[in-house]
Amino acid sequence: MKHLLSMMAALLILFYAALSCAQDWDDILKQAQGQTVYFNAWGGSQAINDYISWAAKEAKKEFGIKVVHVKVTDLGEVVSRVLVEKSTGRKDKGSVDLMWINGENFKAMKKNHLLYGPFTQKLPNYPLVDTENKPTTLFDFTVPVDNMEAPWGMALLVFQYDTRRINMPPGSMEELLALAQKHPGRVTYPAPPSFYGTTFIKQALLELTDTPDALNMPVSKADFARVTAPLWRFLDRLNPLMWRKGKVFTKGAPAMKQLLNDSEIFISLSFNPNDAANAIANGELPGSIRTYVHRSGTIGNTHFLGIPYNASAVEGAMVFADFLLSPRAQARKSDPEIWGDPTVLNLSRLTPGDRALFEKIAIPTASLPPAALSKVLPEPHASWVEALEKAWQIRYSK
Amino acid sequence: MSLELKHVQITRKGQALFAPICLNIFPGETATVMGASGCGKSTLLSAICGSLSREFRLKGEILLKGHSINPVPMERRNIGILFQDDLLFPHMSIGSNLAFALPPGMPRYLRDEKVKHALGQAGLEGFEDRDPATLSGGQRSRASLLRTLLARPKALLLDEPFSRLDHGLKGQIREFVFDQVKKMNIPALLVTHDPGDMAEGPLIDLTTHR
Amino acid sequence: MPLTRKQHERLANVVTFTPHMRPGNPPKARADLPDQADQGISSGTGMGTFLLLFPGSVFFTFLVTVGAGLWGTWLPSLGYLPAMGKTTLTLHPWTELFNHPAIGGAVRSTLVSGWGTALGAFLLSGLLFAMNYGSRTWGVMEKMLAPILSVPHAAFAIGLSFLISPGGWLVRMVSPGLTGVDLPPAWVIPKDPQGLSLMIALVLKETPFMILVMAGALQQIDYNATMAVGRSLGYRPAQVRLKILLPQLFPHMRLSLYAVIAYSLSVVDMSMILGPTTPPTLPVLVVQWFNDPMLETRLMGAAGATLLLGMVLGSLLLAYILEKAIIRCFEWRVANGRRETLLSPMTPVGRTLLMGGMTVFTLTMVILVIWSFTWQWPFPEVLPAQWSFRFWEKSIHDLGSPMGTTLITGLAATMAGLVLTIGCLEYEATLSKTIAINRYKKCMSIIYLPLLLPQVAFIFGVQMLLTWFHLDASATGLIWSHLIFVLPYIFLTLGSVYRSFDRRIMTTATLLCGSPMKAFLKVKLPMLLRPILFSFAVGISVSVAQYIPTLFIGAGRFSTITTEVVALASGSDRRVAAVYALYQQLIPMGVYLLAIFVPKLMFINRKRMQR
């Protein structure tokens, strides 16, 4: 018995030694060599696909890992797949190694223990992340990140308008309504539960409600009907004035971009402040499109990279996530000519050489100067999402 | 080398199609089975060549050269059959159609020669590369018979092979067929509904043979 | 030729009567003879037993896959999903489903577009046939049938929405010159809440399919003879086609009609592009629920998938009852003797409809080509303001791997499907006309299940099954999942031609060469090359179009042209989407062309093989 116990203890020590050893970044790099990382990310944007294929090539050169971009239409598919793998008891050799994730998907995966980690503290580039000034890198839709996902980029709800059709963009939801009255049928927003639509609803709620503080608490603790009453009054007036009389909605910002190009609508939205500039540069939008935000500030959040609990190439996934966090990769990503997605890094922590990479990027005319984007509204508590989506569907989706 | 039917009878769901048949056909001879359509004469032929469908049962014994061939599978019976349609394979040339019947293992030049020789016998010289679809009805019938004979069958079955031919042609082809049977010295069995087709060998009329 | 006396004599003499052996009274002495009838036609070499392997494995595969797939959906719909700690059976997902605000609208628009499509496609194909068959327009259409059918649903939907949107090409052609507006009109297509634009698109896509099936069925009927008989009785050609030919054709079309009903009720990709949005159709809603971040929602998704299954089965039952009712009501009308019909004066209308349909298909192709060469194209320009080759250039560089995956998967699934189908049909041929053949055919109809069940109602269960055996994310699993959908179409297209192959040809060939295998390979296969290649093309295009199986069973490890197309269609870049949609059309179209021209070239000097 004693013999057995001591043997088990020895084994345990060995196990921990192995574990701490693996935590050493050099070892991770070594193990990552030759691995294939299946990176599941939205594949609807050529600009983003091109950026990912650039990063994959660099990772192959630098770390000897092969990155395969699995192009998804909806991240929910990936969550679903990981869930199926879990339900059949697969603890390793999962089909997903790294995934582009945030918000509700993160919340669901964290809750159901579908994520690997915590791991971001091991990434050499993680200390460069601007966690102080960008709190959404620590709280994803108010859910604590707990090092379970690595920040990748910043998102801000911005609007785009066509200067050929509108002289002055609206500065608030009320002014948007006025514009819709003046140009019936030329305004729309995506239908929740598309996260674009849900974010628009949340923005409207933040602007219109009399009790904004209630939004920081779980929805169960708030008087939902009273808090949201101004929102529904607003939408009841706006929807009938919208594109297709509010009976048809788009699925998201990409579809709205097409409508904006076709002049079916005059105002579109995006999570990428440089989206319009990028789209003009690649011909998707005419040069007359400009970006604007509402005066009261705009909802901002962060998008992340997560590793499923049963990933086949954990080390490779970590190494690639770290590469995507590197100043070189982040600077390229924030270039509007490439993608234009704002960085999560704190520029003051970078070496002068790395900082220069960011500073030489010019702000295109279609984008807003950084100062105009400084007023960031925090997301409401994550529990509001479902409640708002359901209430919206009951009212407008029958 | 004779083909012998001993009390051969075919039943379907317990019902006999005709009374048992006893028939002995000698080499070089062509026997005839007569009967209206639907009397079971084609079924009799498929029993002899081994392609009887499962719904039918065969009673009695079929002997070729004195050996029962009842248990022998179709492809090893060495029996040739001619139908009322020539059934030349439409995707092959006349030459290939004939060569298809030759046994394997023969060198190319020999095969070509045999085909050429066979065609020459039937007045089809130089038809090797012709498309079957471009031949006249009589030419196709002859080619079809040649093909059957090139497989060196030990017996020949004729399933109304002349019924599609026009009157003038019929006699000519009949002569040709019966000549070949004599030349090859094999037993042949002809089924037909047309008394005019009858050969000179033994005869069974299934219409009265109930 | 009269009988000679000699012949008469022989007639009397040769017949050997054996009075003790009467029909039905088998000779006991002969009982020991080997029973010929127990051997299969080509058997004696164990061929029949060997062939039994094919239907056996097909039967097993389909039963297990579809069964497990349905089971894996039904259990979660009753609240059972151990991965989420749900192990008690409850009706909660169902109450949640029926209380969901979107369910009423979703069911309504699904039924409208589904039934509208089935009825529309069926009636339209029937009327077009009655009004146009044999005309020059019909001839043109028959030539266009293969390319039209090879257009994948997703690509067609994308092209059509480019065409008919308020800011689309049709409006651009007349604006501002004719309409005087420089803004797109505010009409509600596509994506109208009633699902009508989805329905119209589906009718456009499914009618050619029904016409193809009809053309196949026509080959089983002597069209010219029937026509001659009917016309000599004083009926107009359209009446003959309507009253005599269509009723004969329908039994051959029934299964395809059922497939159209099931497909239009459960289509996902086209509905995502052209269907209503708030709420979407039920199948789209179900996919949304299955992918919802709130993992509990997928229990409701499973219930929704099962509801959709019920709707499809109910619709098929209704179609069956309708068929019987219509036959009852109209039976006497066929024989009412009226020879004139409204159809005859309407022939120009039929011709216009046919031309219109073909024009729409052509325009969707053209608009895709234009978009693929576009750089910038603002409203209301009729043609792009700036052109570019960039997207084609880039695609050549990006396309290698998805193209390879698409081709390899399609080839493997189709080859496997062909081998299995031919094996099953060969086995069937050994059964001949016994009762067994009917029983066998009934058993084999299980392979049509994937055509009649909504994909979303069992694909998640299949995913579960394959994950269990570690076959997900593997090439085997992917090919398997494609095979499930490819095989029924191969069977459907090859079956009737294969069955009508003249048995005497195989008898002749086997007797000639002494080997059933050689006869099969050298005579039967080449003679059937054309229909086999056509089935091959159908198989490839079915495989190429698979989206949901590729996504779920391939676990995203395998990107095909179609997953790329749908992913890009979810984005905003119409130019890249157009390029990929064209690539998606290229493969099936290429294979159809091969299927048409390879037999033509191989048998260039064989008149009867050209038909």
First to last CA, chain B: 29
Same domain (yes/no): A187, A257: yes
* Residue A142, in any domain of the structure: yes
* Residues A245 and A355 placed together within one structural domain of the fold: no
Please determine, for residue C314, whether its predicted confidence score (pLDDT) is greater than 60.
yes
How far is CA B41 from each of CA B10, B33, B62, rounded to the nearest angstrom? 10, 7, 15
For residue range C340-354, list pLDDT tens digits in order: 666 666 778 878 888
In this predicted structure, the answer to whether residue A369 has a pLDDT above a threshold of 80 is: yes
0.90 exceeded by the pTM? no
The residue length of chain C stands at 611
Is A335 inside any structural domain? yes
Instruction: Scan residues 179-218 of A and list those with Cβ closer than 8 Å to C.
Output: 185, 191, 193
CA A72/CA C550 separation, integer angstroms: 12
Supply the range of the domain harboring residue A359.
31-153+303-363
- Identify the H or E element spanning B156: strand B155-159
pLDDT in tens, B108-145: 888 889 899 989 888 889 998 888 889 988 899 889 98
Three-state SS sequence of C442-508: HHHHHHHHHHHCCHHHCHHHHHHHHHHCCCCCCHHHHHHHHHHHHHHHHHHHHHHHHHCCCHHHHHH
* β-pair type (B155-159, B188-192): parallel
Among B63-67, C8-12, C562-566, where is mean pLDDT lowest?
Answer: C8-12
| Residues on chain C touching B89 (C-beta within 8 angstroms) | 505, 509, 523, 526-527
Q: Indicate if A329 and A357 belong to the same structural domain.
A: yes
- Tokens 């990709």 label which residue? C269
Residue-wise DSSP of A151-212 = EEEEEE-EEEEETTT-SS--SSHHHHHHHHHHSTTS---PPTTSHHHHHHHHHHHHHH-S-G
Q: What is the per-residue pLDDT across A253-285, written as a single tens digit (0 to 9) for each?
A: 888 998 898 888 999 999 999 999 989 988 889
Confidence label for A6 from pLDDT (cuts 50, 70 and 90):
low
User: Phi and psi at residue B24, in whole multiples of 5°?
Assistant: -125, 120
CATH of residue A350's domain is 3.40.190.10
Binary contact (C516, B75; C-beta < 8 A)? yes
**C-beta atoms of B151 and C431 within 8 A:** no
DSSP secondary structure of C121-160: HHHHHHHHHHHHTTSHHHHHHHHHHHHHHHS-HHHHHHHH
* Chain C residues touching residue B153 (CB < 8 angstroms): 511
> How many angstroms separate the CA of residue C316 from the nearest CA in chain A?
27
pLDDT of C11 higher than 50: no
- Tell me if B51 and C15 make a contact (CB, 8 A cut-off): no
- Residues written for chain B: 210
The rounded distance, in Å, linking the Cα atoms of C295 and A112 is 8
Helix (H, G, I), strand (E, B) or coil at C37: helix
Question: CA–CA separation, A51 vs A30, rounded Å?
Answer: 25
Same domain, A147 and A165: no
In angstroms, the CA C44 to CA C55 distance is 20
Question: Which residues pair with residue A151 across a beta bridge?
Answer: A304
**C572, C575, C576, C579, best to mutate vs chain A, most A CBs in 10 Å:** C572
Provide the 3-class DSSP secondary structure of residue B204: strand
Helix (H) or strand (E) holding C72: helix C47-77
User: Each residue of B54-94: pLDDT tens digit?
Assistant: 778 899 999 998 899 988 888 788 888 888 888 888 888 89
Q: How far is A11 from chain C (nearest CA, A)?
A: 30
Residues A279 and A337 in one domain: no
Question: Is the ipTM here above 0.95?
Answer: no
| DSSP conformation letters of A203-242 | HHHHHH-S-GGGGGS-GGGS-HHHHHHHHHHHHHHHGGGS
Quick one: A138 and A193 in the same domain? Answer: no
Interchain pair C101, A44: CB under 8 A: no
Please give the average per-residue pLDDT across B93-97, as a whole number: 88
Q: Where would I find the beta strands (DSSP E) of chain A?
A: 36-42, 66-72, 98-101, 139-140, 143-144, 149-156, 158-162, 267-270, 289-292, 298-306, 376-377
Please name which of B161, B58, B147 lies closest in space to residue B101, comparing C-alpha atoms. B147
Instruction: Give the whole-angstrom CA distance, residue B98 versus residue A349.
Output: 88
Q: Residue C49: pLDDT above 80?
A: no
Verify whether the Cβ–Cβ distance B91 to C17 is below 8 Å: no
Cα–Cα dist A158/A275, whole Å: 9
The answer to whether residue A116 sits within a structural domain is yes
In a shared domain, residues A351 and A382: no
pLDDT at A7: 55
The most distant pair of C-alpha atoms in chain B lies apart, rounded to whole Å, by 53
Chains A and B touch (3+ CB pairs under 8 A): no
Residue A41 pairs in a beta bridge with A71
* Å between C600 CA and nearest CA of chain B: 11
Angle made by CA atoms C26, C31, C35, in degrees to the nearest 5: 100
How many structural domains compose chain A? 2
- The C-alpha angle A76, A77, A81, rounded to 5 degrees, equals 115
pLDDT above 90 (res C320): yes
Q: Is residue A2 a part of any domain in this protein?
A: no
Q: Which A residues 134-173 touch C at CB under 8 Å? A: none
For residue C15, the distance in angstroms to the closest alpha carbon of chain B comes to 5
Question: How many H helices and E strands in chain A?
Answer: 14, 11
Q: Where does the pLDDT of residue C486 fall: very low under 50, low under 70, confident under 90, or very high at 90 and above?
A: very high
Contact: B16, C23; criterion CB under 8 Å? yes
Q: Which chain C residues contact residue A43 at CB under 8 A?
A: 564, 567-568, 570-571
Of B9, B4, B5, give the one whose Cα is nearest residue B57: B9
Q: Look at residue C418 and tell me whether its pLDDT is greater than 60.
A: yes
pLDDT of residue C12: 36
* Contact assignment for B75 to C42 by CB distance below 8 Å: yes
Is residue C153 within 8 A of residue C274, CB to CB? The reply is no
Q: Is A16 among the domain residues?
A: no
Of C167, C464, C473, the CB nearest to A88: C464
DSSP A341: P
Does residue C20 carry a pLDDT above 60? no
Q: Are residues A140 and A170 in the same domain?
A: no
* Cβ atoms within 10 Å of B137's Cβ, excluding its own: 13
Closest CB from C83, C100, C191 relative to A87: C83
Burial B103-114 (b: 16+ CB within 10 A, else e): eeeeeeeebeeb
pLDDT at C268 over 90: no
Predicted local distance difference test score (pLDDT) of residue C483: 93
Q: Chains that contact C by 3+ CB pairs under 8 Å?
A: A, B
The answer, yes or no, to whether residue A11 has pLDDT greater than 60, is: no
What is the radius of gyration, based on Cα positions, of chain A? Answer: 23
When pLDDT is averaged across residues A49-54 and rounded to a whole number, the result is 94
Strand ranges for A22-135 from DSSP E = 36-42, 66-72, 98-101
Give the model's pLDDT for residue C6.
42
Q: What is the C-alpha separation between A130 and A135, in angstroms, rounded?
A: 8
Instruction: Detail the DSSP E strand segments found in B26-86.
Output: 30-34, 56-64, 67-68, 79-82
DSSP, residue by residue, B164-184: TS-HHHHHHHHHHHHHHHHHH
What span, in angstroms and rounded, lies between the C-alpha atoms of B155 and B151?
11
Helix A195-208 vs helix A383-396: crossing angle, to nearest 10: 100
Gap from C46 CA to chain B (nearest CA, Å): 10
Tokens of B116: 């050429």
Q: Are residues A100 and A222 in the same domain?
A: no
Tell me whether residues C293 and A85 touch, CB distance under 8 A.
no
Q: In the predicted model, what is the mean pLDDT of chain A?
A: 89
- How many CB atoms are closer than 10 A to CB C571? 26
Count the alpha carbons within 13 Å of C286 in the hemisphere toward its beta carbon.
Answer: 29
The residues near C362 (Cβ < 8 Å, ≥ 6 apart) are none
Do the chains contact at C101 and A397, CB–CB below 8 Å?
Answer: yes
* Residues C527, B53: C-beta atoms closer than 8 Å: no
- Residues A294, A246 within the same domain: yes
Q: Which range has the worst mean pLDDT, A27-36, A190-199, A231-240?
A: A190-199
| Interchain contact A113–C (C-beta under 8 A) | no
List own/partner pairs for C182-185 with CB under 8 A and 24 or more apart: C182/A263, C182/C379, C182/C380, C183/A263, C183/C379, C184/A262, C184/A263, C184/A264, C184/C379, C184/C380
Rounded to 5 degrees, φ, ψ at B190 are -110, 130
Residue A289 φ then ψ, to 5° = -90, 135
> Which alpha helices (H) appear in C267-296, and where do they start and end?
269-274, 282-290
CB atoms closer than 10 angstroms to residue C92:
16
Residue A246 shares a structural domain with residue A382: yes
CA distance to C79, C245, C493, per residue, from C497 (Å): 47, 19, 8
Name the packing angle between helices A327-334 and A46-63 (round to 10°). Answer: 160
Q: Is residue A144 exposed (0-12), middle (13-18) or buried (19+ Cβ within 10 Å)? A: exposed
DSSP state of A364: P
pLDDT at residue C414 greater than cutoff 90: yes
Low-confidence winner among A70-74, C359-363, C555-559 (lowest mean pLDDT): C555-559
Mean pLDDT of C132-158: 83
In a domain, A240, yes or no: yes
Using a CB-CB cut-off of 8 Å, the residues of chain B touching C1 are 195-196
Give CA–CA dist B28/B201, Å, rounded: 9
CA atoms of C303 and C289, how far apart (whole Å): 10
Closest to A324 (Cα-Cα) out of A308, A293, A303: A303
Backbone angles phi, psi at A302, to 5 degrees: -120, 145
- Mean pLDDT in residue range C466-473: 78
The full length of chain A comes to 398
Q: Give the residue among B49, B46, B63 at the shortest CA–CA distance from B1.
A: B63
Same domain for A385 and A244: yes
Mean pLDDT, range A145-161, rounded to an integer: 94
Rounded CA-CA distance C452/C488 in Å is 10
A3 occurs within a structural domain: no
Residue of B nearest to C604 (CA): B91
User: How far does Cα C153 stand from its chain's mean position?
Assistant: 12
In a domain? residue A7? no
